[in-house]
């Protein structure tokens, strides 16, 4: 498999593991990179020295390329960027913010920059800012999400027409057939999050992983659109948010209900009632916790078989 994405990152398969707060530390990132994909450390949940620790451990655990995801609304972002540069990280995925702020500085240090978007306006803005590729993330995705609710099926062909740079599809992809569909729509690669939450190497709590593999379709919903839209797995905290939104809660009331550290409580510490559980719609297809290498091998195998079937079927 060789295309613009495998060449850009110098990887075997165009499969990127999403940076996910509390779930993707060095163990998952290095396991995915060692298996031929692009592993990514999710820095949003890490204090600066934790990020440094994870980058150093990742460098020891793999000699393959890996990336760091930086949500641009992170409070100590200057320190994160400083650490990324001083530790010699070669690939950075920015999200949740303006791509103009950091792209040229990172690129001047020789870093490959990718930005995550959910509509064509921001895709164009990211391309104009000089990023090397974009992740186009559809409505199905877990965690933070666009407000427009454009599904991956519609978003990818729109973004394909909007930009010339490589497009990585995200949202709703967790299998080889999902990857094949995204590539058929015009993507050059796929970014997968939820499937890797339920991997042995993910730093999510076992309680959260088990909740993910027991979920069915309809168990997630995009909430808190007035605040920061986020797809959540239904639980007690979800019900409280739903009731507050139905009662016309103000932005301030919703922010106070969310409070601080809810995602750590749910995803990292395993409090399935009070915590915030972020996962994508594709969780309904995930039935087993597995090593990251098995997940990648299965995806690639299913992708190849599915492609053969399609070619032979027509």
Residue 142 C-beta: closest distance to ligand NDP, Å: 8
Please identify, using beta-carbon distances, which residue of 295 and 300 lies nearer to ligand NDP: 295
Half-sphere exposure of residue 48: CA atoms within 13 angstroms, side-chain side: 13
Phi, psi of 178 (to 5 degrees): -65, -40
Q: In what order do the strands lie in the sheet with 112-117?
A: 15-17, 189-192, 167-170, 133-137, 112-117, 91-95, 66-71, 39-42
R_g of the chain, CA atoms, integer Å: 18
Q: Are 179 and 299 in contact (CB under 8 A)?
A: yes
Q: Answer for the pair 156, 167: CB distance below 8 angstroms, yes or no.
A: yes
- Please state the closest distance from residue 86 (CB atom) to ligand NDP, in A: 18
Of 63, 69, 48, 302, give the one whose Cα is nearest residue 191: 69
Tokens representing 161?
Answer: 């027409």
Site for ligand NDP in 271-310 (CB under 6 A): none
Nearest approach in angstroms of CB 245 to ligand NDP is: 17
Minimum CB distance to ligand NDP smaller for 258 or for 300: 258
CB of 175 to ligand NDP, least distance (A): 21
Binding track, positions 138-177, relative to ligand NDP; x by CB under 6 A:
-----xx---------------------------------
Q: In whole angstroms, what is the distance from residue 41 CA to residue 175 CA?
A: 21
Residues 178, 176: Cα–Cα separation, whole Å: 5
Q: Give dist(CA 119, CA 47) in Å, integer.
A: 30
For residue 75, the minimal CB distance to ligand NDP (Å) is 5
Per CB under 6 A, the segment of 32-40, 126-134, 262-270, 304-312 that binds ligand NDP is 262-270
Counting contacts by CB under 6 A, is residue 115 touching ligand NDP?
no
**Would you say 21 or 272 has its CB closer to ligand NDP?**
21
Site for ligand NDP in 48-107 (CB under 6 A): 50, 53-54, 57, 71, 73-76, 95-96
Q: Which stretch binds ligand NDP (CB under 6 A): 18-26, 99-107, 181-189, 232-240?
A: 18-26
Binding-site ranges for ligand NDP (CB under 6 A): 21-26, 42, 44-47, 50, 53-54, 57, 71, 73-76, 95-96, 143-144, 203, 205, 260-264
């Amino acid at each position: 498999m060789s295309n613009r994405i495998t060449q850009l990152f110098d990887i075997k398969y165009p499969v990127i593991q999403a940076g996910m707060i509390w779930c993707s530390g060095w163990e998952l990132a290095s396991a995915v990179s060692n298996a031929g994909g692009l592993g990514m450390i999710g820095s949003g949940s890490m204090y600066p020295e934790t990020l440094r620790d994870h980058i150093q451990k990742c460098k020891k655990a793999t000699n393959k390329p890996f990336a760091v995801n930086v949500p641009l609304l992170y409070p100590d972002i200057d320190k994160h960027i400083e650490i990324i540069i001083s530790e010699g990280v070669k690939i950075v995925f920015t999200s949740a913010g303006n791509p103009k702020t950091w792209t040229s500085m990172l690129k001047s240090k020789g870093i490959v920059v990718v930005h995550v978007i959910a509509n064509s306006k921001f895709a164009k803005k990211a391309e104009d800012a000089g990023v090397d590729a974009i992740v186009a993330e559809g409505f199905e995705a877990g965690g933070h999400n666009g407000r427009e609710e454009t599904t991956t099926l519609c978003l990818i062909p729109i973004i394909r027409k909007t930009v010339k740079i490589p497009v990585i599809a995200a949202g709703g992809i967790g299998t080889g057939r999902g990857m094949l569909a995204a590539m058929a729509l015009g993507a050059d690669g796929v970014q997968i999050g939820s499937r890797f939450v339920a991997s042995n190497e993910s730093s999510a709590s076992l309680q959260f992983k088990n909740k993910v593999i027991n979920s069915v379709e309809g168990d997630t919903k995009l909430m808190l659109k007035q605040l920061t839209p986020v797809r959540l797995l239904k639980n007690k905290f979800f019900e409280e948010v739903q009731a507050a939104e139905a009662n016309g809660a103000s932005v301030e009331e919703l922010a106070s209900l969310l409070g601080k550290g809810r995602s750590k409580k749910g995803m990292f510490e395993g409090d399935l009632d009070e915590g915030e559980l972020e996962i994508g719609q594709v969780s309904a297809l995930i039935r087993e916790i597995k090593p990251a290498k098995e997940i990648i091998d299965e995806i690639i195998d299913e992708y190849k078989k599915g492609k053969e079937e399609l070619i032979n079927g027509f």
